[in-house]
Amino acid sequence: MPVSELLHRASQAAGRSVSVFVRDVGRGMLEVGHNGLALLGLAALALVFFAASRAEVRQQVEVHTLQWLQTRHEARELASGNVLTGLSEPDAVLRATAADLKALSREQVTLATWISRRYKVAPEPVGALVQEAWVIGQRAGLDPTLILAIMAIESRFNPFAQSPVGAQGLMQVMTRVHDDKYESFGGTRAAFDPISNLRVGVQVLKECIARAGSVQEGLRYYVGAALLESDGGYAAKVMLEQAHMRNVAEGRPVPLNAPNTPPASTLRVVDSADASPGEAAIPAPAQSASAVMGTVEQVALLR
């Protein structure tokens, strides 16, 4: 047999041998792969069943999963330029001092709207204050317009107002003097919560009126002028503003720029002991409101 033919047959035999080898190895690898995947699947199922049967493991998995999802969400929000990511608080609206004016009575809406325009504050917070003044006024036996007038003169409806002597909030209560009254509201910082300040202020006002025997004299106690010759015109201002508000609530027109200081020609200088009911004790020209407030520390316990 020629050498060339022998070489040809040898090469064919070698090719068949290599082909069989490669085929066998491939089949073996495929079997191993299938078996490996089957074992991996069984291990995963066993892990899942184990985790499902352990409450603490399941909880940890849920927590990590939620954290991962939250992180991904925040990353997307930051990428889009939303700087409030992670600061959302859907329940924050529950802290807001605001009321739907549709829930108020006609006279309350009329008065809230007038106050809002006169003092340049939003009607919804004013509506909440008007509504509260009606409720607390009825409980305390006080005209709600008196409560609102005090807020107007004291702070112009600024819930964060503070006087040089430490009177704070809407009704300018001396917080450090009446700290005990704020205990039921969580502490003295509640002085800057409008509703809490209103309620404490009404309590103080009620005590002042009871001590003095009349609204007019009670206002002198409230402003800390009970031991002074005059109250700097404070009572007169409050009572005139109350008259404006009462007229508005009853449907009578009152200009937004109506003065809250009585004309000097209609006032006379009188001592508080000589003042007749409904007449405010007006200071002599040399006595100013600032001078009165400068001595408040001396009579702080009265306010």
Could you read off the pLDDT of 123-153 as tens digits, one per residue? 999 999 999 999 999 999 999 999 999 999 9
| Same domain? 51 vs 136 | no
Residue 96 lies in a domain: no
Phi, psi of 167, deg, nearest 5 = -70, 135
pTM of the model: 0.64
- CATH assignment at residue 254: 1.10.530
Question: Does residue 73 carry a pLDDT above 70?
Answer: no
Q: Does 284 lie in the same domain as 169?
A: yes
Q: Is residue 24 located within the same domain as residue 172?
A: no
Residue 197 lies in a domain: yes
Whether residues 219 and 127 fall in one domain: yes
Backbone angles phi, psi at 291, to 5 degrees: -65, -40
Residue 193 lies in a domain: yes
Burial of residue 7 (number of CB atoms within 10 Å: 0-12, 13-18, 19+): exposed
Residues 279 and 155 in one domain: yes
pLDDT of residue 24 exceeding 80: no
* The two three-digit tokens of residue 134, written as one number: 């009606």
Q: Give the lowest-confidence range in 8-17, 121-130, 193-202, 288-297.
A: 288-297
- 91 is a domain residue: no
Contact by Cβ (8 Å): 290, 280: no
Q: Is residue 92 in some structural domain? A: no
Burial status of residue 228 (CB atoms within 10 A of its CB: 0-12, 13-18, 19 or more)? buried
Whether residue 181 lies inside any domain: the answer is yes
**How buried is residue 159: exposed, middle or buried, by Cβ count under 10 Å (0-12/13-18/19+)?**
buried
Same domain, 72 and 209: no
Shared domain check, 195 and 57: no
Structure-model confidence comparison of residues 282 and 255, the more confident one: 255
Domain count, the chain: 2
Specify if 85 maps to a domain. no
Angle in degrees, 0-180, between the axes of helices 144-155 and 215-223, rounded to the nearest 10: 30
Residues 43 and 114 in one domain: no
Other beta carbons within 10 angstroms of residue 99's beta carbon come to: 20
Q: Are 242 and 251 in contact (CB under 8 A)?
A: no
48 and 169, same domain (yes or no): no
Same domain as 147, residue 21 = no
Residue at 156 is within a domain: yes
Same domain for 144 and 282?
A: yes
Task: Tally Cβ neighbours within 10 Å of residue 265.
Answer: 6
Number of residues that make up the chain = 303
Burial class (CB in 10 A: 0-12, 13-18, 19+), 41: exposed
Q: What's the domain range around 160?
A: 101-302
Domain shared by 297 and 169, yes or no: yes
Distance (Å, whole) CA 298 – CA 303 = 11
